Amino acid sequence: MARQDIPLETLVSHLLASKRSLSSISTVWRANEIVTSARAALEESVVLSARTGFLRSGISEQVKILRKARGGIENVYKEGQRDFKSVIRTLDAANARLEATMDVLRSTMVEAAFRPEKEEPRSLLDFVDEQGVETMRDALKESIRESKEAQTEFDTSILAFENDLRALKAAMKSSPQSSASQSHNELSSTIPTHLQTLESHAQEMAALLDSLVQHFDLCVNAIRHTEGGYAAVQKAASSQPPGAEAVSVSGVMDTENDPPSDEPISDEERREMLDVLEKDASQVEDVVIELKEYLEEMEMKHDAILEYLSALTTTYNETTAAYQILEGIGARLSGYIIASQDFRIRWEETKINIGKQLNELESMRLFYENYHSSYDGLILEVYRRKQCDEKVKNIMKKAMEQIEKVYDADSKEREGFRLDVGEYLPVDLWPNVNAPAPRWEFVLADQETSDSVPEFEKAVVEAAGKRDRERQRTERRS
């Protein structure tokens, strides 16, 4: 047998180290698992990215439609608010005018000459029924209450719509648009690049493992061609120092008797084998370290891929949740639109009703104004009648003076006639021959109207006339 260029103990040490290095096969298995996982992640990311992009595009289009619908509903609300405020202003103005007119009636005291003696002073307002005004005001308050109730219901619907849109917006913000836009870039660069690196590393690790296997086979072959090699290996494997990794050499050799190889090799072949063995043995540890480094880098890239896939999955799930919110909004959208239509119909009906009530309120105000102006007219009419009475009395006074003159002349003539011829005429010829002159006087035909025309102070009549002229000027200007 050729002499040993390398001590048996060194060969045994190389064999055991080589056997330990073969445990690195787990790193290669792990590398293969990582590559498989990365490929699956690539496929899943493509699906998730496509689904997410499709969903977000659809949601964005639907959001545009929802915003238009919200704009239409808001326009109905704003128009109703403007109308309501305008109606309230009109109501306030009409009520203020009515109240001002009623204040005038309340402050205008009826002249005592119109009323019975000892009666308490009364205003013009005391002679009209205010219950009609209060009834109309109550009806207006009820219309306003119904309007506010309809507005409150519409507010509730709008608030629910706004909450839905805010929820959808929040759901879309949790998976921002940048994620969807970046997904394609990540998909086309990050994962494929990492996968390419992982596949390359896996191939390199497989090659390194193959070199370790070849080195182990070379060590086994060297032991087989070395006398006492198997026994030395068994002894070394069973007597490892404390803390050293246990090594099993079962199946390494064909027989426990350790016969030399049936195929002897030449000294030249042995030297070449031992040279290669010695050279490779010095690299075993480096190869094992390199395998670990490869695996560490692969684990890092794999973690990055899984992290990105997790983020993409989260984005997809959040987009799906946003889509579910959108579906719910779509189911409720018809209700929101119907609510706006109901509000518009109810408000139009209420507005028409308020308009009628406003007309009635204005009619009451005009009635009260005419009532006040008629009172001034009454004062002027009483004054006119008083003037007529005075004219008649003056005429009667002058007539009575003429009548008295005629009566005196008639009496003198009758007395002269009696003295001249009275003694010659028989009395029974005409019984009235010596009758006195008749006396005439004026008597009021309707005694019930006697002294029925009141008399006012001049200032009262002048004030009524002034107000009447001002009204006439106002009517001509309008």
Neighbours of 266 (CB within 10 A): 9
Structure tokens at 281: 């043995």
What span, in angstroms and rounded, lies between the C-alpha atoms of 65 and 63?
5
C-alpha torsion sign, points 203, 208, 213, 217: positive
| DSSP letters spanning 237-280 | HHSPPTTSPP---TTTSS-TT-PPPSS---HHHHHHHHHHHHHH
What span, in angstroms and rounded, lies between the C-alpha atoms of 204 and 379?
124
What span, in angstroms and rounded, lies between the C-alpha atoms of 232 and 223?
9
What span, in angstroms and rounded, lies between the C-alpha atoms of 308 and 314?
10
| DSSP letters spanning 33-65 | HHHHHHHHHHHHHHHHHHHHHHHHHHHHHHHHH
What span, in angstroms and rounded, lies between the C-alpha atoms of 230 and 430?
203
Q: Cα dist. 159→73, 169, 394 in Å?
A: 11, 15, 85
151 and 343 Cβ atoms separated by less than 8 Å = yes
Q: Terminus-to-terminus CA distance in the chain, angstroms?
A: 144
Q: From first to last of its 478 residues, what are the pLDDT tens digits of the chain?
A: 344 456 666 665 555 566 666 666 777 788 888 888 888 888 888 888 889 889 999 999 999 999 999 999 999 999 999 999 999 999 999 999 999 999 999 998 888 888 888 888 999 898 888 888 888 889 999 999 999 999 999 999 999 999 999 988 888 876 654 444 454 454 445 777 777 777 777 787 777 767 767 666 666 666 665 554 555 554 555 455 544 454 555 545 544 444 444 466 655 555 656 655 566 565 667 777 777 887 888 788 888 888 888 888 888 999 999 999 999 998 999 999 999 999 999 999 999 999 999 999 899 999 999 998 998 888 888 889 888 988 988 999 999 999 999 999 999 998 888 888 877 788 778 888 888 889 888 887 776 555 577 877 888 888 888 888 888 888 788 6
37 and 264 Cβ atoms separated by less than 8 Å = no
Q: Cα dist. 359→84, 87, 173, 457 in Å?
A: 17, 13, 54, 39
Q: In angstroms, what is the C-alpha Rg of the chain?
A: 64
Instruction: Using alpha carbons, select from 5, 2, 13, 23 the residue that is nearest to residue 288.
Output: 23
Domain ranges of the chain: 8-254+261-360, 372-476
User: What are the phi and psi torsion angles at 123 (to 5°)?
Assistant: -95, 170
HSE of 108 in the Cβ direction (CA atoms, 13 Å)?
22
Which pLDDT score is estimated for 15? 59
β partners of residue 123: 109
81 and 194 Cβ atoms separated by less than 8 Å = no
Q: Cα dist. 86→83, 191, 341 in Å?
A: 5, 64, 21
160 and 147 Cβ atoms separated by less than 8 Å = no
Instruction: Indicate the SS3 state at residue 123.
Output: strand
74 and 339 Cβ atoms separated by less than 8 Å = no
What span, in angstroms and rounded, lies between the C-alpha atoms of 290 and 24?
10
